[in-house]
Amino acid sequence: MRIKEIMKETFIVSPKINLKEAAEKMTNNEIGSLVVVEDNKTIGIITEKDIIRNISSLKKKISEIMSEQIVSIDEEENIDNAAELMAKNKIKHLPVTSGEEIVGIITISDLIKHCEDLNEDFFLD
């Protein structure tokens, strides 16, 4: 199964918003991460875990705590590759690209919903 078949919409935010605004956007949209973009360039990702770790500093800008090293996967890849990347990098949110553009996101929950489509060899590694 291809990534593009199960990916979801990506929510994009500016690095200038604060943690409280990010938390509200995640809550209102029932999502666990936001992709941070500045000048049409992806510069980071912030997750619910990042916000929880900084709960006492909700006025901080997300640019201060976001992950800047983004692991992503092409929309044409299969979900086995996504599972391997997530396990290898210990991440739960994986931005999906088409060329240089982020076009969606896949989460560990998405993979669990489609675990019957994962290659059996993945579970043996």
* DSSP string over 23-84: HHHHHHHT-SEEEEEETTEEEEEEEHHHHHHTGGGTTSBGGGTSB-S---EETTSBHHHHHH
The model's pTM is 0.85
As a whole number of angstroms, the distance between CA 5 and CA 3 comes to 5
Q: Report the pLDDT averaged over residues 102-125.
A: 76
Q: Which CATH number fits domain 3-124: 3.40.50.2000, 3.10.580.10, 1.10.3720.10, 3.40.50.300?
A: 3.10.580.10
When pLDDT is cut at 50, 70 and 90, the band that residue 124 belongs to is: very low
Predicted confidence (pLDDT) at residue 123 exceeds the cutoff of 50: no
As a whole number of angstroms, the distance between CA 75 and CA 69 comes to 19
DSSP SS3 for 3 = helix
pLDDT digits (tens, 9 = 90+) for 15-53: 999 999 999 999 999 999 999 999 989 999 999 999 999
Q: What is the DSSP letter of 87?
A: H
As a whole number of angstroms, the distance between CA 79 and CA 16 comes to 33
Domain-wise residue ranges, the chain: 3-124
Q: Report the pLDDT averaged over residues 82-100.
A: 94
pLDDT at 117: 65
What percent of the chain has pLDDT above 90? 83
